[in-house]
Structure 1
Amino acid sequence: MTAFDLQTVRRELHQIPELGFKEEKTQRYLLEKIREMATDRVDIKTWRTGILVHVSGTNPSKRIGFRTDIDGLPILEDTGFDFSSTHPGKMHACGHDFHMTIALAALSRLIAQPVKDNVLFIFQPAEEGPGGAKPMIESKEFLDWKPDTIFALHIAPNLSVGKVSSKPGLLFANTSELFIDFKGLGGHAAYPHLTKDMTVAASNFVVQLQQIVSRGLNPLDGSVITIGKMESGFVQNAIAETARLEGTIRTTEASSILLVKEKLEKLIKGFEIAYDCEINVDYGSNYYQVVNDGKYVELFQESLAGSDIEYVQASAAMTGEDFGDMLKVIPGFMFWLGVDSPYGLHHAKLAPNEAALSVGAEAVERFIRSFD
């Protein structure tokens, strides 16, 4: 694919973002592009809204996997691009349009010039939720072509174009969504003694929640609990009968997230007694930590020798990624790709520099060819 093709494909994908397991239009688009370049070395399978593309090697001794995510986010785009999302309220605000385009570019090059080993390109749905990696790797379609090693990339808005970044060991944290519903008794604002005020209960709960991290966990184990959304009540002169908190739990240790949930549920029991109410918790999607195999990170760094791509050592982040479920059972790594955007991930104005597309495609191709 030429540089012009990369830009065109990325912009066409950018216009059709779809949410997890609803990527029907995206799947059709990808299949059309893949079939245009396919040869007798290429086999294609679909799994739900995802796609698996197997490229047979010339003399295979292993199978190398490259995974890209394909879903968008429920965000109203505010970039002003003439190729903005045509799906109102949905946007590729996490760079998955970039990821897919890079995968297609690398795929086209490996079809044109095959490598010794087999290569599996994995177009995975639902990374943003509810999580597509775990059910996909458990599917018969995937297990038939299970790779011996696997890798992936993610755009990095704060990293310059031409740079990539990774590290051995922990790269991304364990994450869990958090939804807490409070049910009390509403009533007139003039008679608070006849009600069970869930605005007060939920407000105090948010404050107490932070003590789980500050006083309940080892301070050397990184953990964070964030409540990003709070809802209660309908009108200024009525006491709220219900309230809802929405947030996230993130930890650098797999065991810590279990401990957070244990302490959270004890806190809930105490609040149910103290505020004479009912509280229910839902942990939504849970993603396992992304832990890179140092051997493959080193091989990736070596594969960039002689190129214009600069490798930068990364730091661990509290970011969440369901690719961790793949790395849990298959050795490999993930790396950051610099895209130099003034706005960050999940922002309505995310604007990655398209010059990074060719950098990403070259980095992916170089790593795969390094096994020859």
Structure 2
Amino acid sequence: MDREKLVEIRRDLHRIPEIGFQEFKTQAYLLTVISQYPKDRIEVKMWETGIFVLVKGTNPTKTIGYRADIDGLPILEETDYDFESEHIGYMHACGHDFHMTIALGILSHFVENPIADHVLFLFQPAEEGPGGAEPMLNSNIAKEWRPDIITALHIAPELPVGTISTKSGLLFANTSELFIDLKGKGGHAAYPHTTNDMVVAACSLVTQLQTVVARNVDPLDSAVITIGKITSGTVQNIIAENARLEGTIRTLSVESMDKVKERIEALVKGVEIGYTCKATIDYGSMYHQVYNDEKLTTEFMEFISANSDFTVQEATEAMTGEDFGYMIDQIPGFMFWLGVDSPYGLHHAKLTPNEEAISVAVELMSKYITFKANQE
């Protein structure tokens, strides 16, 4: 597949971003592209709004997996593209349009240039939420077509095109959403003594939550608790009966995640007693850490250095979350950053990654997967 076709596909996909498990147009578009390949070379199975594509090897002894996430984000696009999102209020602001296009390019390469081993492509829905990797991996299709190794990439706006960055071990953090609902007793603003004010309770709880990382997490470890949204009340002269806090938890270890949640639950119980209210906690979507296989990652970095013009950088672990972590928790594999040289970062309404990165990534990963297939 040539560069012009890859760019065309990326722009088509950029126009139709859809949120998790609602990627109906995206799935249909991918299936249209995939349907052009000879039926004797590939086998296709749909799962929810995702797709499994098996490119058959000529003499397979293993299956090499490649995952691409396919969902968009609820962000109003602010680029100057003439191919901007047609779904107002939604955007491919995390580069999943790039991820899908690169996967299609690699898929096309192996249809046209057969190798000994099977190559399995997983077009995964709902990476941004509520999380598609774990249920997709646990599906009957994945059990039948289970890869022996698996890899994936994520675009890195801050890195120039032609740069790869990754590391062995921990790359992305454990993450969990956090939703806390408080219910007290509302009433007239002039009679606060007859109420249980949830604005005051919520403000107190937010302040207390900031002590968890500062005083309950080992200083040599890392954790983050961020409350990004608070909703409460109706008008200025009514004391609020309800309040809702929405946030996220990030930790570099599973043990710290457990400790942080334990402490949050204790603080919430204290607020219930201190402010005479009822509270509920929902952790929403939780993502397992991305922990790269040491042997495969080192081998990949050495291969890139020896067989391409890419610059290879040692990454540092990040507090970002990625549900690909569920896949490499069960299957040996790794994820890496792909430089795309954008002045705006991930999840930004003006993200504009350089399309030159698409074709070079396709060439690079086609070479690497061929290399893996030639190993005993």
Q: Give 1:38 deviation, angstroms.
A: 3.5
Number of residue pairs matched?
Answer: 372
Q: Which amino acid aligns with 1:241?
A: E
Give the letter for the 2:222 counterpart: G
The aligned runs of 1:1-372 (5 Å cut-off) are 1-304=1-304, 305-371=306-372, 372=374
| Partners of 2:269 and 2:307 in 1: CA distance | 60
Moved more, 344-353 or 38-47: 38-47
Aligned mates of 2:329, 2:166 — CA distance in 1: 17
1:59-78: per-residue Cα shift (whole Å, max 9, x none)? 21111000000001111111
Q: Distance in 2 between matches of 1:226 and 1:38?
A: 49
Separation of aligned partners in 2, 1:115 and 1:300: 19
Given that residues 43 and 55 in structure 1 are in contact (C-alpha distance below 8 angstroms), is that contact kept between their aligned partners in structure 2? yes
Structure 2 Cα separation of the partners of residues 291 and 306 of structure 1: 25
Which stretch shows the higher mean deviation, 213-222 or 119-128? 213-222
Alignment check: 8 A CA contact 1:39 1:111 kept: no
**Structure 2: unaligned runs, 5 residues or longer:** none
Structure 2 Cα separation of the partners of residues 107 and 283 of structure 1: 37
Alpha carbons 1:339, 1:352 under 8 Å: kept: yes
Q: Which amino acid aligns with 1:279?
A: A
Shift of 1:303: 2.6
CA distance in 2, matches of 1:72, 1:60: 35
Q: Say which is worse superposed, 233-242 or 154-163, in terms of deviation.
A: 233-242
Using the size of structure 2 for normalisation, the TM-score is: 0.97
The 3-state SS of whatever aligns with 1:218 is coil
Equivalents in 1 of 2:202, 2:355: separation in Å? 44
Q: 1:103, 1:317 → 2: CA distance?
A: 24
Residue type of the partner of 1:31?
L
The 8 Å contact of residues 228 and 247 in structure 1, kept in 2 or not, is answered as: yes
The alignment yields a C-alpha RMSD, in angstroms, of: 1.0
Deviation >4 Å, runs of 4+: none
Secondary structure, aligned partner of 1:97: helix
Q: Which amino acid aligns with 1:110?
A: F
What is the CA distance between 1:37 and its match in structure 2? Answer: 2.4
Contact 1:226 1:248 in 2 (8 A): yes
CA apart distance, 1:39: 4.3
Q: Deviations 1:160-194 (Å, cap 9, x if unpaired)?
A: 11101100000000000001111111122221111
Q: For 1:109, what is the secondary structure of its paired residue?
A: helix
- SS of residue matched to 2:246: strand
Query: Among the aligned pairs, what percent are the same residue?
Result: 61
In structure 1, C-alpha distance between the alignment counterparts of 2:264 and 2:364, rounded to whole Å: 43
Aligned-partner residue type, residue 338 of structure 1 = G
| Counterpart-to-counterpart distance in 2, 1:183 and 1:193 | 16
* TM-score of the two chains, using structure 1 as the length reference: 0.98
Is 211-220 or 163-172 further displaced after alignment? 211-220
The answer to whether the 8 A contact 1:73-1:93 is kept is yes
Verify the 8 A CA contact 2:308 2:364 in the aligned structure 1.
no
